[in-house]
Amino acid sequence: MELAVGLIEREVGFESLDAVAGGETAGIPFAAWIADLLDLPMLYIRKKPKGFGRGAQIEGDMKAGARCLLVEDLATDGGSKVNFVNAIRDGDGQIAHAFVVFHYGIFPQSLETLGKLGVKLHGLATWWDMLETAKATGLLSGPDATEVRAFLENPEGWSSAHGGKVAAQG
């Protein structure tokens, strides 16, 4: 989490945030740890408003105009982030940045989807990072690395050529 906070401080800027918002469900622990390290309030965002009580989609004390950082565990195509971004904005919050621990980095629409909403996606690691580390440490042989690279460069085409389909979610 210290690496995450370092990246957030460099790329987003601590002074530009008022709250850290964790997306249901996997984003919540990461948001809690990051909020603690940044000494900021933490919010919990549901995928949809609960059907009882206040019917809230966001739990926590979000002040009107609060500049929020959305935190999730991972991003594939970025689609699931749209709902959380809209919830923050519907709750009178502002959002210009989302952070994920792991960004697949192979589906260009992940950056495009959020970019159209004015949100920049920041990721701690990608499949490209994993490939380079596996090669550098000898955990992946030359032919295997070549095959993984072929997949990363064209996941849909590689999957189709090998009898499957890619269904990006998240």
pLDDT at 168 over 60: no
- The band of 55, judged by pLDDT with boundaries at 50, 70 and 90, is low
DSSP state, residue 103 = E
Q: What share of the chain is helix, strand, coil (3-state, %, to 5)?
A: 45, 20, 35
Task: Please name which of 69, 55, 8, 1 lies closest in space to residue 29, comparing C-alpha atoms.
Answer: 1
The backbone torsions φ and ψ at residue 28, rounded to the nearest 5 degrees and listed phi first, read: -65, -50
Q: Which residue has the higher pLDDT, 122 or 168?
A: 122
User: Rounded CA gap, 91 and 46, in Å?
Assistant: 12
Dihedral of the alpha carbons of 82, 116, 124, 167, in degrees to the nearest 10: 60
Q: Where are the beta strands (DSSP E) in the chain?
A: 19-23, 42-45, 58-59, 67-75, 94-103, 120-125
When pLDDT is averaged across residues 32-40 and rounded to a whole number, the result is 98
SS3 of 18, please?
coil
pLDDT score, position 49: 84
Q: List the domain boundaries for the chain.
A: 2-125, 127-170
When pLDDT is averaged across residues 144-160 and rounded to a whole number, the result is 92
Model-level pTM greater than 0.75? yes
The CATH fold of domain 2-125: Rossmann fold (3.40.50)
